Structure 1
Amino acid sequence: MSQITFKNIETSRTITLDVNQRMLKSSGREIHIQDSAVLVSLHRLFTRKEGVVKYSDIACVVREQKSAFHMEDCPDGIIANKYIFKTRSILKNLMIDDLIVTVRGLGYKVSEKWLSIVDENKDEYQKDAFLNTITSIIDDCIKYSKDAEISHDKSGFSFIKPSKDKVLENFSRIDDCYNSFLTYYSEPGNSIELLELREKITKVLLYVIYWRVGDSLSDDKFRSDYKNELNLLLRQIKQAIDLMR
């Protein structure tokens, strides 16, 4: 991949590293990277999936691009610091000072504020897949409620009494969907949004296993309320997901 683009999730600003042209581009500005060690170090930072680029990795890059004897008596940490300083100086010329963060005692990584466009597309795919599944479950439940018999007890409560197989099927679908989404998005920056989403999903769960109870409602009113309340929860879930990064 000759071009790699990152996007700041707070400002929506982007920065692109064009390896073939040895260019950094952002907001209409372009800077040619003359130092090969800086270019390769940036490429490592932009492509390191596990996050941290260690001091030793950067020092190795520098020696490969310069010579085996370049700063030969210096510890890896000092070499890495020198070339990351050069890299940050270039970034400042693009008015960017928060792209690279120090991981004390280990090395450097791209700030969590900056997300790879590839990762961003993957995020959107995950969100869309989750919403599509939740929407499908809700649509199926609303459809089921239209034909299901509405039971009424002596207290005046109305409810749907489905088969256990139907309850287990719906529970399994929403449980698998939610836990998959939770695993992907579990990180400190999403904690508040995930709690809000969990609250909404818990409410949806009560509907999809048909624990929703109406008080002295006609069958038509029960079905109408059931549908409207589920659609409201779906809109709230969409809003909660939109706030996630």
Structure 2
Amino acid sequence: MNQITFKHIETSRTITMDINLKMLKSFGREVFIQDSAVLFLFERFFTHKNVFVEYSDIASIVREKKSTFHMEDCADSIIANKYIFKSRNILKNLMIDDFIVTVRGVGYKVSNKWLPVSGKSKDEDQKDVFLNTITNIIQDSIKYSEAAEISHDRSGFSFIKPNKEKALEHFSRIDDCYHSFLDCYSEPGNSIELLELREKITKVLLYVIYWRVGDSLTDDKFRSDYKNELNILLRQLKQAVDLIK
């Protein structure tokens, strides 16, 4: 298997290792792994999900890939910590900080929050995760709108002034799941469908960060229109996703 993908169980974000190209990919970003020891270390993590990589294993990998004299006077734990630090810095370039976790006194392993994705689950799983995430955000937004105060300006416009943390949370969740979906389905022949999806998700985004503006509407009418329009967008989004192969 030349490409191995893991998915975060909470955010649905994915990270893929392309062993042949010596690259990690996530969130539309790609990082080339130059260090042979770090590359082999990532291969171990990606191919042995539930196995602890002990300090001594990491030290052996480093000495094998570098030389037997590399850091020869250092304890295995010191060598391991140095190369895990290098690995985590690479992951930070992909905006991932929880892939490798420490097992105190033993070594390191892949976090339980990251699970391997089988090739056959691309259609069955990734689309469901994407749509479930968007559906939950939309439902949360509608619920928020039902309790939020509707503001009116002197031009007659109606709008919601949200808690900024709520708007940023929705933006972050949509941004993560959209780019994970894009990573999975960016292939020749999908460009038209992906552009259609981008148009729909952009409209949804404007609603869930509460940029939707009504003109001369009562509070009840604003809330009703907000709910109905979001549900229409959700149906359109599902149709756009179904067209992507």
User: Whole-Å Cα distance in 2 between the matches of residues 122 and 187 of structure 1?
Assistant: 13
- Unmatched segments (≥5 aa) in structure 2: 1-18, 21-117
Deviation, structure 1 residue 120: 4.3
Within-5 A mapping of 1:2-21: none
Partner of 1:229: 229
- Unmatched segments (≥5 aa) in structure 1: 1-48, 51-117
Larger CA Rg, structure 1 vs 2: 1
User: Whole-Å Cα distance in 1 between the matches of residues 121 and 228 of structure 2?
Assistant: 32
Q: Deviations over 1:197-230 (max 9, x none)?
A: 0000000010011000000000000000000100
User: Whole-Å Cα distance in 2 between the matches of residues 159 and 168 of structure 1?
Assistant: 17
Q: Which amino acid aligns with 2:242?
A: D
Within-5 A mapping of 1:173-184: 173-184=173-184
Within-5 A mapping of 1:180-195: 180-195=180-195
Q: Which amino acid aligns with 1:212?
A: R
Q: Which amino acid aligns with 2:238?
A: K
Deviation, structure 1 residue 242: 0.6
Partner of 1:149: 149
* TM-score normalised to structure 2 length: 0.51
User: Whole-Å Cα distance in 2 between the matches of residues 120 and 189 of structure 1?
Assistant: 19
Partner of 1:123: 123
* TM-score normalised to structure 1 length: 0.51
User: Whole-Å Cα distance in 2 between the matches of residues 164 and 121 of structure 1?
Assistant: 36
User: Whole-Å Cα distance in 1 between the matches of residues 200 and 120 of structure 2?
Assistant: 24
Q: Which amino acid aligns with 2:127?
A: K
Q: Which amino acid aligns with 1:168?
A: L
User: Whole-Å Cα distance in 2 between the matches of residues 182 and 144 of structure 1?
Assistant: 28
Q: Which amino acid aligns with 1:221?
A: K
User: Whole-Å Cα distance in 2 between the matches of residues 129 and 207 of structure 1?
Assistant: 20
- Higher RCO structure (Cα 8 Å, ≥6 apart): 2
Q: Which amino acid aligns with 1:128?
A: D
User: Whole-Å Cα distance in 1 between the matches of residues 214 and 122 of structure 2?
Assistant: 41
Q: Deviations over 1:47-96 (max 9, x none)?
A: xx98xxxxxxxxxxxxxxxxxxxxxxxxxxxxxxxxxxxxxxxxxxxxxx
User: Whole-Å Cα distance in 2 between the matches of residues 120 and 237 of structure 1?
Assistant: 23
User: Whole-Å Cα distance in 1 between the matches of residues 207 and 131 of structure 2?
Assistant: 17
**3-state SS, counterpart of residue 240 of structure 1:** helix
**3-state SS, counterpart of residue 201 of structure 1:** helix
**3-state SS, counterpart of residue 159 of structure 1:** strand
User: Whole-Å Cα distance in 2 between the matches of residues 189 and 133 of structure 1?
Assistant: 25
Deviation, structure 1 residue 166: 1.2
User: Percent same amino acid at aligned positions?
Assistant: 79
User: Whole-Å Cα distance in 2 between the matches of residues 177 and 200 of structure 1?
Assistant: 14
Give the paired residue count.
130
User: Whole-Å Cα distance in 2 between the matches of residues 199 and 141 of structure 1?
Assistant: 19
- Please say if residues 142 and 226 of structure 2, whose CA atoms lie closer than 8 Å, have aligned partners that are also in contact: yes
Structure 1 stretches of at least 4 aligned residues deviating more than 4 Å after TM superposition: none
Within-5 A mapping of 1:91-110: none
- Please say if residues 122 and 184 of structure 2, whose CA atoms lie closer than 8 Å, have aligned partners that are also in contact: no
Partner of 1:204: 204
Deviation, structure 1 residue 122: 2.9
Q: Which amino acid aligns with 1:196?
A: E
**3-state SS, counterpart of residue 158 of structure 1:** strand
User: Whole-Å Cα distance in 2 between the matches of residues 122 and 155 of structure 1?
Assistant: 48
User: Whole-Å Cα distance in 2 between the matches of residues 143 and 240 of structure 1?
Assistant: 25
- RMSD of aligned Cα (Å): 1.5
Deviation, structure 1 residue 172: 0.5
**3-state SS, counterpart of residue 137 of structure 2:** helix
Deviation, structure 1 residue 121: 3.7
